[in-house]
Each structure stands twice: as structure tokens, then as C-alpha cells.
Structure 1
Amino acid sequence: PALAPVAEDHEEGGARGPLRTAFAGLTTRGRSFLAAGVAAGVCAYVLGQGELLRVGVLLAVLPLVAATVLFRTRHRVTGSRRLSPLRVQAGEEARVHLRVENVSRLTTGLLMLQDRVPYQLGPRPRFVLDRVEAAGRREVSYRVRSDMRGHFPLGPLQLRLSDPFGMCELSRSFSARDTLTVLPAVVPLPASGLGGQAPGAGGGRQRALSFTGEDDVIPRGYRHGDDLRRVHWRSTARYGELMVRREEQPRRSRCTVLLDTRRGAYAGGGPDSAFEWAVSGTASVLTHLLEREMDVRLITDEGALDAVPGSDGFATARHEAAEAAGALLDVLAVIDHSAGTDLAAAHDALHGGTEGLLVAFLGALDAEQTALLAGARGRGASAVAFLLDGPEWGLPAEPGQAEPAAA
């Protein structure tokens, strides 16, 4: 957890001056006592009542003394925030844990905590804590949930201290902030044969062969069961241990996933909109293919995205599936509509090489864009397209336009 800087009550005098800062924190009770004291003093002066004057002085002085004492007391309080987990899917809940610790030698008064959260995550949480003894700590937690994906900042944590009589309150704000990442919803997909998967028998990684690959002559350490005829004697003499030659690098299947983000291709907004469905479908396909040990890359109508470092933008076998999926989902968490009107950039990215499988999530298409995208499919490559049915999603379309585009 990120520990916020120590908040001290005497630090915020600023240009307003210490007295003005202290008196600005008077509560309704404190202001009422002060007004009653002034009124009693005026009445005592007019009526000539000494006893009433003493009561008025007591009522007026009490909130002023409380404000001065609270302002000059050296309360030092630290706060921290911890998110569990840091990344959630849309519609899932995350828990935020707050911890407040009194690092001074004085017991604090009543503490009121308030954490700033975006409205998409729910109402602003508020907590009231009793006095915190010296070196004491208090822990509270609250839940947040969002149906929309994105990055949501949390914080800063605000703290209010009050005197025992409730006459004055002083607010302090910590500087620590955290970010909750809400990923698009991922739907489990059933196992099925994929046209982009390279041929070959066997299971495990050997089934994830690809149409393309290069010889890999880099030797590696000897493992039990390796053929001794593959021993690389020059490397063995150099490294002082038995090294074997990898004569051919395994070939892996490749898949390109295209997400159409054109603003004009979708209608409406919100978690149930067509665009959010397309983003969720893209995330589901990418996760599914990575679990099947395929190399994947993500492109949009604006071209290729370097979401995961790899050759030609593909998430390769050199990356763990969970790490690659996390990087791609982070990109999809913040992806938004583009201002483009055509798929020319996507066509160029696909024309550079469409080995293996091509999966496309498309919005509304006209005849020109349909022909352009259909021509981007490589020879012998398998392709699957999900087309937006405009009228079903509230997007006006000409009668009979969806069927020709699908064909």
C-alpha cells in the first residue's frame, strides 16, 4: 500500500493566517455558541446585568478556545489505501481498504474519513472514527463496482478532526492516489477447431505449430532424454557444460483480431451498447486464443497496436499467456471510438501479412468498406467476422444492407 505523507494540523495556515484558518473551521454549534455569547454580551450591556455578561463571555470564548487549541495541537496522522484486486472485470466488485494511524503522542478527537471516488464507482464513502490513541490505528473498507471499463482514480483521502465539544472541525487531505483498472468483460468460449491452427499431430505445445517459422541454431543446456547426436561440441567446450542444438524452432499458430472502433459505425453508449459488446467479444477471443497457446495481435481501424512487445506485433510464446492477456486487456480497458470513417489503415495492416486466423468485430459497413475488408483476407487464410446488425442496435440502415455485407 502507498503510504501518504504525514498530515499535520498546523501545516495549513497559508496566506489566510492561522486565526482565520482556525475560525473558518467552526461548526454550526460553534457558530451558535459564538452568536449567543455576542448577543448575551450586548443584552448585558444594554440592561446593565453583570451576571449575564459573564455568561456571554463564556459562550463566546468557548468556541474560540476550542478552535485555537485544535489548530495548534500537533496531531500527526498517516493514511494508506490498498485495493483488492487492482484489476477487475466490468460488473465485478473490488474492495478498498483504508488504514489510519496516529503517529503522535496525543490522542486525537473524533475523526471523519472521506475518500474521493468517481461517480461511476458508486457513492462517496464516509466513515466516523472514535478517538485514536497514541500509536493506535483504525482500519475500514468499502466496495466499489463499475459496469463500464476504464481507469478510475481513487483519492485523495480526506480527514476531518474535531474537538471534544464539537465546536470546530479542521480538514486535511492526503496526497496518495491509486487507480482501479476495470477490464472489459471476458466470456468463456467453448473449445473448437480453429482454421488458423497449423497442422500437426500430438498435444500440448507441439499442436500449436504455425505456418511460419525460422531455424533456431542457438544451443541450450542438455536435458534428460535429448538425443546425443544433437550435442553441440563447440558450445559445450565454450560453456563447460553439455549443450545441445535446437535444429528447428517450433512453429506456432497466429491469429489477428480486428476491432472496428469507428464512431459512426455504432449507435448509443453505455455498458449494453454495441461497441461495448464488440470490445467484450474482442477480449474474450484474445484470452481464449492465448489460452490455446496461439500467437495473437490486436489491430483496429487505425492500424496495428503494439500492445505486447513481440515480433510483428504478435504476442509470442516468449511471453506468459497471463502476462500477454493482461497487457492486451489493459489496452482494451481504455480503448475508445476513433474519428475515422473507413478501414483503409486496417486493410494496410492486414495486407502486410494475415497468416493463420483472422477474427474481426465490425460495426455498420457500407458497400465500399465491405469490399475493401473482404479483399484484405490472405490466400488460404481462415477468417471469422462478427457483423453489427444495425437496426437491432438502434442504428439506422437501409433495408437489406446487412445480408450483402455478410455475404
Structure 2
Amino acid sequence: MRRRRPLTGRGAGALVAALCCVIAANVFGTRILLYIGLLLAALTLFSLLAVRLPRRSGTVTRQISTDLLTVSETSRVTVRISLRALRVPHGLWHDILPAAVAGDSGGEYPPESGQLTYPITGVRRGVWPLGPLMLRTVDPFGLAQREQAFGETRSITVVPEVFALAPLAVRVGAAGGTAHTSSTRLGQGSDNLSPRGYIPGDSMRRIHWRATAHRGQLMVRQEEEESSPDAVVVLDRSAGRWDAPGADADPAFETAVSLCASAAVHLASEGYSVDVIDSAGTLLGALRGHEDDRDGLLVALAMVAPRGEGRDLAALIGGTPPGPLVFITGRLDEEDAARLRPAGAAAPMLFSTELLPGAAEAATPHGWTVATLGPVIADAWEDAVSARIGVGDVPR
């Protein structure tokens, strides 16, 4: 953060003029120029002391209208400052914004409303510092200035944008589809247990005491198979697939992260239990229908960056193939595409930001529906879904 000079341009000019008047008075022997020079120097010094000597301290609190700021989303920041000073200073305030956030975060102080508010728009995902609050005051003559920071910084999380996507074909959907897979979960919870009458030989540990008391006869817990369609979204962030990181974000990788978030949220809305992993097998998020799952995934995706090498896809998925499998990658050549196997997934879809010659032809025989991921995420998804419908009857 660049510090302002104690003197304004006018103040620096007045000081230079005072020096010139003193020199001219000695050269030409004109006493009036000496008086003018001393007066300008004294006025500049007085202005400097007037803005620098008063002691000021204060605390700053910020409130953002949204907990998570989405890229391209506009939110409002409310700033409250408790300033302790001999008199209320008049000047200009501005809140320091990171380059990842755009907004007009400045105005006149003190404000008429009693609080400082300004809009911000997410530009680049990540976790960024917001603040501190700067207050700039100038003396009445405009010769000296003072800029002082108040309060601490606050972190703001900018998450990837989530787009609305076209529904999958019913054949691979969760509601009545025949191509989806399901996980069998057995447990002791109330959601997947139903009581039945006691049969000699049943373990006493399985007695359902509440049902026994309600029905007046001995009842035991009976586990039922719970159908829970599974989906997997894989974000390939292997360093070799993307441009080397620099000061600016890689647009292709940002689009891939946004598709990852959009696909996961969309599949969860269609009834799937969604696991989101990266190419190294790290779990980025799991959507199981809880309110916090979506926010947890978006926060994790806000901080991902290309790094490392990828693992074999079959090893990432494990022994139970999912229904929909969404694999999102960057540059993909023919050799890597030929090694990419969907591991028995019922509906594998492959998205690449840069399909090199022969890559699509090498991946299609393995069952992939291949689509190029361009700037418009919804169009790429719709292309893949449309192609998926055309191959939906092909046996795996």
C-alpha cells in the first residue's frame, strides 16, 4: 500500500515558492520577498502540524450481506467505525480492496447516514484480505494531508460461479432410471430401519425397545437396503494440463472449477449423493443433502490451483462404479485420452478445455461422452447431455 506524502501538491508548491522568495530577497535585496517567503513557510508548517498532531484511534467492524461472495455476484459491505478524537475530522475515506474484488469503496467522512456502505463484485475466486479502512484529511488551506489506517483486515472468500445446467437423461437419473447405480447402506439409524416381530434366534441386541413398548410385543430392528444413487465429479488439476501459474488467473482453469461446482450442485439437486475429488484423490467435497455441504464444497473450490500429477481414474473411484461420472480436465492429447478409462461408470462424461487432435476419438470407444469446455459452461454441458442421450442404450 503506497503511503501518501505529508504535503499535498499545493503544499509542496508553497514550500518551493517560499524558498525561491528567500533566495530572491537575498539576491535583489528586496525585503518584502523575504517576508512573503517566511509567511509561506510558516503557513505550510502550521498546516502540517494541524493535521498531524491530533491523536486519533478507533475500531472498525465490517458486515457483508452474503457469507460467500460468488464470482460476478454483487454484495454490499457495511462498515462501522468508532473513532476517538478531539473533534470529528472531515475528509475522505476508502476501504482497501484486493484486486479480486471490484467496487467503489470510498466517500466523504463523516457520512450523513452514520455508517459507511459500498457495493463489491467478485472478480476472482480465492480468500482475500479486505481493509484496512483509510481516512484522509487535509487542512483548510489544502497544503498538508494525513492518511491514517483504522481497524484490521477481514478475510473475504470469493467462490466459483455456479450455473444452471440442463437435466440429465431420465435413463441415468435418480428418479426411476435404470442405468444408475446405488449404494447399499446398512446401519442402526431410524431412516433405514423398520421393526418386525421377534423370531427365535434373533439377537437381543437388535430389539427395538420403542416399538416393543408401543405394540406390546417383542420387536426387533430389521435393516433395509437404502437406495442412494452415487455420482462422482473429478477435477483434474494436474500441473501439466494447465498453463503455468502467474499473476493473472488461467481462464481455462477458472472455467473448469466453475463447471466442477455447477455439475456437483446440479447432480445433488437431481437426487444423487455426489463426491467431488481431484486428480490426486483428495476429497474436495461431498454433497449429501445437508445445507452446509454446498458451502463447504464452494469454499474448498475457492482455493484449488493446478499442482502435482494425477492418478489412475479407476484407482480414484474404487471398486464401486458410480452412475454419472464427470471428468473435467485441461489439455488432453490422444495418448492420455486412450489411457483414461471410466471404470464402469454408467454415464461417463469427459470435458476438456483443449482437446488436442485425436483425443476425442481415443476416448469415445471407452464409453466417454466427450465435450469441449468453452467459456459458456451451460452450452458445453448441454452438448454432453445431448450426446449422452444418443448413446444411452449402448450396453457397458
Is the shorter-chain TM-score for this pair beyond 0.5, marking a shared fold? yes
Partner of 1:386: 350
Partner of 1:64: 45
Q: CA deviation at 1:65?
A: 1.7
Partner of 1:18: none
Cα distance in 1 for partners of 2:86, 2:46 equals: 21
Report the residue type matching 2:348 in the other structure. Answer: V
- Alpha carbons of 1:46 and 1:115: their partners in 2 closer, same or farther (altered >3 Å)? same
Q: How does 1:359-378 map to 2 (within 5 A)?
A: 359-366=326-333, 369-374=336-341, 377-378=343-344
Q: Counterpart of 1:247 in 2: which secondary structure? A: strand
Cα distance in 1 for partners of 2:119, 2:91 equals: 17
- Alpha carbons of 1:253 and 1:151: their partners in 2 closer, same or farther (altered >3 Å)? same
Cα distance in 1 for partners of 2:190, 2:304 equals: 41
1:211 to 161, 175, 183: 183
Cα distance in 1 for partners of 2:16, 2:130 equals: 39
Q: Counterpart of 2:186 in 1: which secondary structure? A: coil
Cα distance in 2 for partners of 1:106, 1:259 equals: 56
Cα distance in 1 for partners of 2:265, 2:99 equals: 30
Report the residue type matching 1:83 in the other structure. Answer: I
Q: CA deviation at 1:177?
A: 1.7
Partner of 1:103: 84
- Alpha carbons of 1:368 and 1:350: their partners in 2 closer, same or farther (altered >3 Å)? farther
Report the residue type matching 2:185 in the other structure. Answer: G
Report the residue type matching 2:294 in the other structure. Answer: A
Post-superposition CA distance 1:274-306 (Å, at most 9, x none): 44333222212210122234221112221131x
- Alpha carbons of 1:292 and 1:165: their partners in 2 closer, same or farther (altered >3 Å)? same
- Alpha carbons of 1:402 and 1:174: their partners in 2 closer, same or farther (altered >3 Å)? same
Cα distance in 1 for partners of 2:35, 2:10 equals: 20
Report the residue type matching 2:71 in the other structure. Answer: A
Report the residue type matching 1:324 in the other structure. Answer: D
1:180 to 145, 156, 168: 156
Cα distance in 2 for partners of 1:234, 1:389 equals: 57
Query: What is the alpha-carbon root mean square deviation over aligned residues?
Result: 4.1
Q: List runs of 5+ in structure 2 lacking aligned partners.
A: 199-205, 214-218, 366-396
Q: Counterpart of 1:97 in 2: which secondary structure? A: strand
Partner of 1:88: 69
Q: Counterpart of 1:280 in 2: which secondary structure? A: helix
Partner of 1:153: 129
Q: Counterpart of 1:278 in 2: which secondary structure? A: helix
Q: CA deviation at 1:214?
A: 0.7
2:108 to 117, 125, 129: 129
Q: CA deviation at 1:236?
A: 8.6
- Alpha carbons of 1:366 and 1:272: their partners in 2 closer, same or farther (altered >3 Å)? closer
Q: Percent identity of the aligned residues? A: 27
Say whether 1:28 aligns with 2:4.
no
Q: List runs of 5+ in structure 1 lacking aligned partners.
A: 1-20, 202-207, 221-225, 239-243, 309-313, 392-396
Report the residue type matching 1:405 in the other structure. Answer: A
Would the aligned equivalents of 1:79 and 1:101 in 2 still touch at CA under 8 Å?
yes
Report the residue type matching 1:129 in the other structure. Answer: E
Post-superposition CA distance 1:343-392 (Å, at most 9, x none): 42x33121343344433224444565445432x514xx41321243745x
Partner of 2:55: 74
Cα distance in 1 for partners of 2:264, 2:319 equals: 20
Q: Counterpart of 1:37 in 2: which secondary structure? A: helix
- Alpha carbons of 1:194 and 1:297: their partners in 2 closer, same or farther (altered >3 Å)? farther
Say whether 1:144 aligns with 2:116.
no
Cα distance in 2 for partners of 1:38, 1:151 equals: 50
1:291 to 252, 266, 269: 269
Post-superposition CA distance 1:15-63 (Å, at most 9, x none): xxxxxx99x6122222333333344344445555555544433221111
Cα distance in 2 for partners of 1:329, 1:80 equals: 25
Cα distance in 2 for partners of 1:373, 1:253 equals: 23
Cα distance in 2 for partners of 1:253, 1:347 equals: 19
Cα distance in 1 for partners of 2:59, 2:138 equals: 17
- Alpha carbons of 1:131 and 1:32: their partners in 2 closer, same or farther (altered >3 Å)? farther
Post-superposition CA distance 1:171-225 (Å, at most 9, x none): 2123422333332232223344263748699xxxxxx994311132x569xxxxx
Cα distance in 1 for partners of 2:9, 2:330 equals: 57
Partner of 1:403: 361
Q: Counterpart of 1:158 in 2: which secondary structure? A: strand
Post-superposition CA distance 1:227-277 (Å, at most 9, x none): 897996746999xxxxx9763364422211122223433569988944433
- Alpha carbons of 1:159 and 1:196: their partners in 2 closer, same or farther (altered >3 Å)? same
Q: CA deviation at 1:167?
A: 1.9
Q: How does 1:37-48 map to 2 (within 5 A)?
A: 37-44=18-25
| Aligned residue pair count | 344
- Alpha carbons of 1:214 and 1:356: their partners in 2 closer, same or farther (altered >3 Å)? farther
Say whether 1:358 aligns with 2:339.
no
Post-superposition CA distance 1:295-334 (Å, at most 9, x none): 21112221131x34xxxxx4435xx1x3111111222222
